[in-house]
């Protein structure tokens, strides 16, 4: 980051060959937590942003796209989601989207880095919109895998909202086959898991296809989907897996009927047409999903950089 107050730019490294520059108006916080570097900045284009390990994780102007895409397809596909587990999601926006569903009786959010959650409460309160104070919320700052291993609770939906797996980061062991088996055991019989699966750019599909293949090694039904994320510099991938439901088969009319029936108000991104568009993956992604076979394991984790 250029520290000249008249010419400050955030250098967001998308991959080894691509850096995205964001003009900064203000640096609100710059420090390090126990687990990662953390910054809160005000971008000229994207508003206030959370930056972890030098990568933008969320921005106030477009976070609704990411969080609705991650949460709503799985929640809507389940006929009556009552118990939800969230791994990560320190900003509180994933929790916000879950709690839009009045059927939810309990939402357990586990993010290992309590300092990041505290920063988001202070600088990005509109991400959570009071979700942390909702009586249905149970917030824990421990390792999500360890929590699930010790818990005997079952969940209708499990949402994995974690940073990309980097060697020094806290999330690499939550993308593995062994972890997804644990998730499967903690889901109800008709439960779903939703995972942020990384870039869907044609030049960097390894994370997306590896997550897809790893989920397919554990679950009988897996669907990948994607949408464009401005703050991430391109299309972004997600995966949903289940023993019972395939959300990609739902029609726009199915989705709009569920949204209306559940009184999901104030959605800015997700509806039936959006759902169909996200699951209508371009040919290059479908080809990569068919051709690439990498499965992530505890012994062979995936480190992107």
| Catalytic hit among 111, 113, 156, 161 | 161
What number is the average pLDDT over the span 7-14? 84
Q: What average pLDDT does the structure give for the chain?
A: 93
* pLDDT of res. 304: 60
State the Cα–Cα distance between residues 157 and 59, nearest whole angstrom: 25
Residues 6+ apart with CB under 8 A from 186: 85, 148, 151, 153, 154, 155, 158
* pLDDT of res. 243: 96
144-158, 162-176, 208-222, 285-299: least confidently modelled range: 162-176
First-last CA distance in the chain? 19
What number is the average pLDDT over the span 273-300? 95
- On the question of pLDDT at 249 being above 70, the answer is yes
Backbone angles phi, psi at 231, to 5 degrees: -70, -15
- On the question of pLDDT at 7 being above 90, the answer is no
161 is catalytic: yes
What number is the average pLDDT over the span 226-251? 96
- On the question of pLDDT at 16 being above 60, the answer is yes
Three-class secondary structure of residue 53 per DSSP: coil
The model's confidence at residue 169, banded by pLDDT at 50, 70 and 90, is: low
State the Cα–Cα distance between residues 250 and 237, nearest whole angstrom: 19
Tens digit of pLDDT for each residue in 39-51? 999 999 999 999 9
Among candidate residues 165, 223, 234, the one with its CA nearest the CA of residue 200: 234
- On the question of pLDDT at 4 being above 70, the answer is no
- On the question of pLDDT at 2 being above 90, the answer is no
- On the question of pLDDT at 170 being above 70, the answer is no
State the Cα–Cα distance between residues 245 and 134, nearest whole angstrom: 29
Among candidate residues 288, 285, 252, 245, the one with its CA nearest the CA of residue 270: 252
Residue with the larger pLDDT of the pair 171 and 225: 225
Number of H helices, E strands in the chain: 10, 12
State the Cα–Cα distance between residues 39 and 197, nearest whole angstrom: 23
Extended beta strands in 9-154, E state? 9-15, 18-32, 37-43, 47-52, 55-59, 83-88, 106-110, 137-140
State the Cα–Cα distance between residues 152 and 226, nearest whole angstrom: 32
* pLDDT of res. 37: 92
Three-class secondary structure of residue 235 per DSSP: strand
* pLDDT of res. 254: 97
Question: What are the start-end ranges of the H helices in 108-251?
Answer: 114-123, 125-128, 144-150, 177-186, 206-216
What number is the average pLDDT over the span 87-105? 97
5-19, 37-51, 184-198, 210-224: least confidently modelled range: 5-19
What number is the average pLDDT over the span 5-21? 80
* pLDDT of res. 230: 92
The model's confidence at residue 30, banded by pLDDT at 50, 70 and 90, is: very high
* pLDDT of res. 215: 97
Beta bridge partners of 23: 9
Can you list the domains of the chain with their CATH numbers?
A: 9-59 (2.30.140.10), 63-291 (3.40.50.150)
- On the question of pLDDT at 262 being above 60, the answer is yes
Backbone angles phi, psi at 74, to 5 degrees: -70, -45
* pLDDT of res. 233: 87
Three-class secondary structure of residue 229 per DSSP: strand
């Amino acid at each position: 980051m250029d520290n000249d107050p008249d010419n400050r730019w955030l250098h967001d490294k998308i991959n080894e060959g691509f850096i995205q520059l964001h003009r900064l108006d203000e640096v609100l916080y710059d420090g390090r937590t126990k687990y990662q570097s953390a910054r809160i900045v005000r971008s000229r284009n994207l508003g206030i942003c959370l930056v972890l390990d030098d990568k933008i994780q969320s921005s106030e102007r477009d976070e609704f796209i990411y969080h609705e895409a991650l949460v709503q397809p799985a929640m809507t596909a389940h006929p009556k989601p009552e118990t939800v587990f969230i791994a990560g999601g320190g900003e509180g926006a994933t929790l916000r989207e879950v709690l839009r569903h009045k059927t939810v009786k309990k939402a357990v959010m586990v993010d290992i880095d309590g300092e990041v959650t505290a920063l988001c409460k202070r600088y990005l309160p509109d991400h959570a919109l009071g979700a942390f104070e909702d009586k249905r919320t149970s917030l824990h700052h421990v390792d999500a895998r360890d929590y699930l291993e010790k818990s005997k609770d079952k969940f209708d939906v499990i949402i994995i909202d974690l940073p990309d797996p980097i060697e020094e980061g806290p999330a690499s062991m939550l993308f593995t086959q062994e972890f997804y088996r644990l998730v499967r055991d903690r889901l109800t019989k008709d439960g779903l898991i939703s995972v942020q699966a990384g870039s869907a750019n044609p030049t960097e599909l390894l994370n997306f296809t590896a997550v897809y293949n790893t989920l397919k090694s554990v679950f009988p039904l897996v669907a990948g989907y994607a949408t464009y994320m401005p703050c991430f510099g391109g299309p972004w991938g997600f995966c949903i897996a289940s023993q019972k439901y395939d959300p990609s088969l739902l029609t726009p009319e199915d989705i709009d009927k569920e949204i209306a029936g559940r009184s999901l108000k104030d959605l800015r991104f997700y509806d039936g047409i959006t759902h169909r568009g996200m699951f209508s993956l371009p040919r290059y992604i479908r080809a990569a999903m068919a051709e690439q076979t990498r499965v992530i394991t505890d012994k062979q984790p995936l480190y992107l950089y």
